[in-house]
A and B are shown apart, each in its own frame.
Chain A
Amino acid sequence: MAKGISDKVVILGMGCSRFGERWDCGPEDLMVEAFSEAVSDAGIEKDDIQAAWLGVFFQEQSTGKSGIPLSQALRLKNIPVTRVENLCATGTESLRAAAYAVASGAVDIALAMGVEKLKDTGFGGLPERTKGSVEDLWLPNSTAPGSFAQLASAYAAKHDRAMSDLKRAMAHISVKSHDNAVKNPKAHLRRAISEDDVLNAPMVSYPLGVLDCCGVSDGAACAIVCSPDVAKRLGRSDAVSIKSLQLSASNGYELTNDGWDGAHTMTTRIAAQRAYDEAGLGDPATDIDLLEVHDCFSVTELVLMEDLGVSAEGRAINDVLDGRYDADGDMPCQIDGGLKCFGHPIGASGLRMAYEIYLQLSGRAGERQLTSPSIGLAHNLGGVPNRNVASIAIYGLTSL
């Protein structure tokens, strides 16, 4: 029986570029920026890294296919470098590959890099898809906000809640993330806003206004991982350890079957349960100290609270409005500003979440440091509610 990778891999060092509209940087510059921080944090030499994974989603936007963009940017010594892609779970997927390589004993030290250069399109929002084939024949020419907005209409109908209540909770979520990002010097959007700002913002995809949407940002983040033994050999006595890395991919059920109610993300629930089992967590609602979830849109964050089992079914609106997920609440969510304000360079996002949890667990989160957290959860939802890849990563402090 497989036992998973819990506590078999620790984080030796991490780095994250400043996120935002980085007109000054190409993807290669962003990767160097993140890597320089990570390699110095890890206290190793670049040549100590034995294998690397590169996560990038829109490869046609500047970065390119394959592992070569990473190898070339860092001038790696011809080590194996592989590109991975799994929609918005790409960053976590990159870490998963590096962690599995370490856990298997194939390498001592591995690098997981995620990068995205989105602001080379010349227009706002995510890039348009390149030419497809079969799906173009029938799927709507949808956008990310339009696809996630579906959650709102379905959630309000399912729980018989007025759209105005849901909108207010969604606004609270955005206000909270903006407040948090003010304290994060690497965040893309560092401006406090009010609930009225959110409610009166121009409509993007009903009921999502522009302030219900996350930033479309450039950025890179990376992790250097190794086994606990290697970390010990390098002189570490404690470390942030990977307690779980789980993934769940849609199989077409949500897309084609009315058994899915459209008001939750099915794969998140599946991946979360596997992750809680792998990490040995009892009750997520009490065992987790901080959350970094895939808040691509405010409504996504709201339904995720139920999908992760930290809010009871149908109670997320109340919990959000009660401040449970605020910086001073029971379970701070998006303490770094989240996708909403730190930004969402797709391939980097999962690693950016890991970065924040790593800083928080290590007590190095500066002005936004929480009081001695020991377990953090990062969640990505790649794709759209009816077809996606959910990833869950759980990180904890461990003594070596």
Chain B
Amino acid sequence: MNDAEFGILACGTYVPRHRLPGQLVADAHAWFQPSLKSVSGLSRSFANWDEDALTMAVEAGRRCLSESGDSVDHLAIASTTLPFADRSNAGIIREALDLGSHIDLSENGGSQRAASSTLSMALRTAGDTRTLLLASDCYDSQPAAADEASTGHAAAGVVLGPGEPIATLKASVTLNQDFVDHYRSAGDAFNYSLEPRWTRDAGYKNQVVAAWSQCLVDADLDRVDRLLVAAPGGLASALAKSLSQENAGAALSRSIGYAGSAQALLVLADALGHANAGETVALLAVGQGIDLMIFDVKRSAPLTPSGEPLIEDNYTRYLATRRLLAIDEGIRAERDNRTSQSAAWRKHEAVTAFKGGKCSQCGTVQYPMSRICVDCGASDSQVLVPLSSRHGKVRSFTEDWLAFTQRPPLVFGNVGFGDGANVMMEFTDVLPGQLEVDTPVELRFRIKDLDERRGFRRYFWKPTPASESRG
């Protein structure tokens, strides 16, 4: 296995379906910050209440793995917004993706370059191991902050390893500088951002121009076919301009926003889906320094289908969805969501990996797995079967306005998964009036309940109408 064959073997992206139009933001704050009129033309993605950096990473990971098929030796997650400071986030992602329990796990954070620097290092180090590198960020800007309408939520991933790559690394430059254009201290909710013109003119521009020349020399190129700049919108276009190239990632940023540490892999995966074999692609990511990589595209990658965007038309609902506005949720919301960790541990395969039991006597699948088959009555006859990638069908449903949920109505119902299996589940990303009996559904890994009293959250799988674009 020579070095030339080590590269990006698969890639995938996940973007939440919800979009916040800049116009809604500008209108909401016009009384206070009229200058936000400038964001009117923007759009950004935002996570539903039941999504976080972890669940989005799982979705990106599923897309990567459905592409590459194989298992991996190493799972790395890069993010600045993972939900747990001391509980393995990667460990939850690993189980949700049903990856082996002996693989290496790592978590990188602390910078917008958390993913790009891991990518650069892994590609330069190469070797025989296969790595699933995921990047996901779910940073919620403070209302009326300059970046509110341009900071998106998204996740992306790549599988790196030896094989038949989509792209290989041609050259790279890494530069670290403690240049503080913005920061967020541990435990703080919001960023503290400095003047963008200073960031651009005195900061990154000079670093980028020097690194670019170096990288082109190393790659023996005059220019690249596609330049991708993973930086906030205005900065990204300024940096591209200083390199006399277009930012091929600009269109994506205009609809989704800048997804922090996930942006580098997001624009890269998207570009690889559009690029042809033989093209050169450069990826530039900034954050207390820069990562610059130039890739040779070896073959075209399939694009990740994305769901139809759900355009938000109510700014208050956006705020409440993201827990940025403490609305009176009523007494029902006082329901105690404490988790019995001993029960959760007993059922971790059923819950996190969504595995049911398949009876080896009669073939009936049942959830959760049980000692005695619900259909034929055989004892201890069941083996675990993964259900998370199965498509299901709605068998009955309701839109419940009484049950507490962060984004009413609570839509739930019976879903059939074939082989006799029926599971009563909560749906997600579904609009009132959208479901019917027999609607095909697919599953998403989501937050099941938030336990805000104890700073805990539990995860489970939820059906959503199957994406029509899926082949």
Contact A206 B432 (CB under 8 A): yes
Query: Which chain B residues in 414-446 approach chain A with CB under 8 Å?
Result: 414, 416, 420-426, 432, 436-438
* Bound Cα distance A121, B334 (Å): 12
Of A125, A138, A139, A145, chain B has the most CB atoms within 10 Å of the CB of A138
Q: Hey, which chain B residues are within 8 Å of A156, CB to CB?
A: 437
- B35 in the interface (beta carbon within 8 A): no
- A204 in the interface (beta carbon within 8 A): yes
Q: Hey, which chain B residues are within 8 Å of A150, CB to CB?
A: 396-398, 413-414
Contact A257 B336 (CB under 8 A): no
Residue of A nearest to B419 (CB): A258
* Bound Cα distance A329, B337 (Å): 48
Q: Hey, which chain B residues are within 8 Å of A256, CB to CB?
A: 366-367, 374, 421-423
Q: Compute the total of residue contacts between A and B using a CB distance below 8 Å.
A: 157
* Bound Cα distance A257, B405 (Å): 27
Report if A128-B400 is in contact (Cβ < 8 Å); known contacts: A154-B395, A251-B374, A257-B420.
no
* Bound Cα distance A252, B356 (Å): 14
Query: Which chain A residues in 246-261 approach chain B with CB under 8 Å?
Result: 251-261
Chain B 136-160 near chain A by CB (<8 Å), digits 1 or 0: 0000000000000000000000000
Interface of A is mostly: loop
A2 → B minimal CB distance (Å)? 23
Q: Hey, which chain A residues are within 8 Å of B346, CB to CB?
A: 134
Contact B402 A257 (CB under 8 A): no
* Bound Cα distance A133, B343 (Å): 6
Query: Which chain B residues in 361-377 approach chain A with CB under 8 Å?
Result: 364, 366-368, 370, 374-375
Contact A140 B424 (CB under 8 A): yes
Q: Hey, which chain A residues are within 8 Å of B448, CB to CB?
A: 137-138
Contact B422 A137 (CB under 8 A): no
Q: Hey, which chain B residues are within 8 Å of A147, CB to CB?
A: 398
* Bound Cα distance A259, B404 (Å): 31
Q: Hey, which chain B residues are within 8 Å of A133, CB to CB?
A: 340, 343
Q: Hey, which chain A residues are within 8 Å of B424, CB to CB?
A: 139-140, 142, 255, 386
Contact B374 A141 (CB under 8 A): no
A191 → B minimal CB distance (Å)? 22
Q: Hey, which chain B residues are within 8 Å of A204, CB to CB?
A: 400-402
Contact A137 B458 (CB under 8 A): yes
Report if A136-B337 is in contact (Cβ < 8 Å); known contacts: A123-B332, A258-B422.
yes
Q: Hey, which chain A residues are within 8 Å of B331, CB to CB?
A: 121-123
- A25 in the interface (beta carbon within 8 A): no
Residue of B nearest to A387 (CB): B424
* Bound Cα distance A131, B334 (Å): 11
Partner of B402, one of A122, A145, A263: A145
Residue of B nearest to A147 (CB): B398
Contact A141 B335 (CB under 8 A): yes
Contact A146 B403 (CB under 8 A): yes
Contact B420 A149 (CB under 8 A): no
Q: Hey, which chain B residues are within 8 Å of A121, CB to CB?
A: 331
Contact A146 B330 (CB under 8 A): no
Residue of A nearest to B337 (CB): A136
Residue of B nearest to A263 (CB): B396
Contact B410 A141 (CB under 8 A): yes
Residue of A nearest to B432 (CB): A206
Of A122, A156, A256, chain B has the most CB atoms within 10 Å of the CB of A256
Q: Hey, which chain B residues are within 8 Å of A203, CB to CB?
A: 399, 401
* Bound Cα distance A386, B395 (Å): 12
A196 → B minimal CB distance (Å)? 21
- B3 in the interface (beta carbon within 8 A): no
Q: How large is the interface on B (under 10, 10 to 19, 20 to 34, 35 or more residues)?
A: 35 or more
Partner of A140, one of B336, B395, B410, B436: B410
Q: Hey, which chain B residues are within 8 Å of A73, CB to CB?
A: none
- A130 in the interface (beta carbon within 8 A): yes
Contact B351 A153 (CB under 8 A): no
Report if A255-B426 is in contact (Cβ < 8 Å); known contacts: A125-B402, A141-B403, A150-B397.
no
A383 → B minimal CB distance (Å)? 12
Contact B396 A142 (CB under 8 A): no
Query: Which chain B residues in 271-288 approach chain A with CB under 8 Å?
Result: none
Partner of A258, one of B330, B338, B395, B449: B395
Residue of A nearest to B462 (CB): A140
Of A131, A133, A156, chain B has the most CB atoms within 10 Å of the CB of A133
Report if A252-B332 is in contact (Cβ < 8 Å); known contacts: A157-B437, A258-B416.
no
Report if A153-B413 is in contact (Cβ < 8 Å); known contacts: A123-B330, A131-B338, A251-B374.
yes
* Bound Cα distance A98, B364 (Å): 40
- B409 in the interface (beta carbon within 8 A): yes
Report if A138-B460 is in contact (Cβ < 8 Å); known contacts: A205-B399, A386-B424.
yes
* Bound Cα distance A208, B409 (Å): 13
Contact A142 B412 (CB under 8 A): yes
Chain A 233-272 near chain B by CB (<8 Å), digits 1 or 0: 0000000000000000001111111111111000000000
Residue of A nearest to B367 (CB): A256
- A36 in the interface (beta carbon within 8 A): no
Report if A260-B350 is in contact (Cβ < 8 Å); known contacts: A129-B335, A150-B396.
no
Chain B 54-75 near chain A by CB (<8 Å), digits 1 or 0: 0000000000000000000000
- B327 in the interface (beta carbon within 8 A): no
* Bound Cα distance A328, B430 (Å): 44
- A374 in the interface (beta carbon within 8 A): no
Of B396, B409, B410, B426, chain A has the most CB atoms within 10 Å of the CB of B396
A148 → B minimal CB distance (Å)? 8
Contact A146 B398 (CB under 8 A): yes
Residue of B nearest to A126 (CB): B402
Contact B399 A138 (CB under 8 A): no
* Bound Cα distance A257, B362 (Å): 13
Query: Which chain A residues in 19-58 approach chain B with CB under 8 Å?
Result: none
Partner of A128, one of B332, B395, B410: B332
- A143 in the interface (beta carbon within 8 A): yes
- A151 in the interface (beta carbon within 8 A): yes
Chain A 114-127 near chain B by CB (<8 Å), digits 1 or 0: 00000001110100
Listed by A's residue number, 30 A-B pairs whose Cβ atoms lie within 8 Å are A133-B340, A136-B449, A137-B344, A137-B347, A137-B448, A137-B458, A138-B368, A139-B424, A140-B410, A142-B410, A143-B402, A150-B398, A152-B398, A154-B395, A154-B396, A156-B437, A203-B399, A205-B398, A205-B401, A206-B432, A255-B422, A256-B366, A256-B367, A256-B374, A256-B423, A257-B420, A258-B422, A262-B396, A262-B414, A386-B424
The 7 closest A-B CB pairs, nearest first, are A146-B400, A157-B437, A149-B398, A154-B396, A140-B412, A150-B396, A140-B426
A residues apposed to B, CB below 8 Å: 121-123, 125, 128-131, 133-134, 136-143, 145-147, 149-154, 156-157, 203-208, 251-263, 386
List 11 extra interface pairs beyond A137-B448, A142-B412, A257-B420, CB under 8 A: A128-B334, A138-B448, A141-B405, A141-B426, A142-B400, A146-B402, A154-B395, A157-B438, A206-B398, A206-B399, A256-B422
B residues apposed to A, CB below 8 Å: 330-332, 334-340, 343-344, 346-347, 350-351, 364, 366-368, 370, 374-375, 395-405, 409-410, 412-414, 416, 420-426, 432, 436-438, 448-449, 458, 460
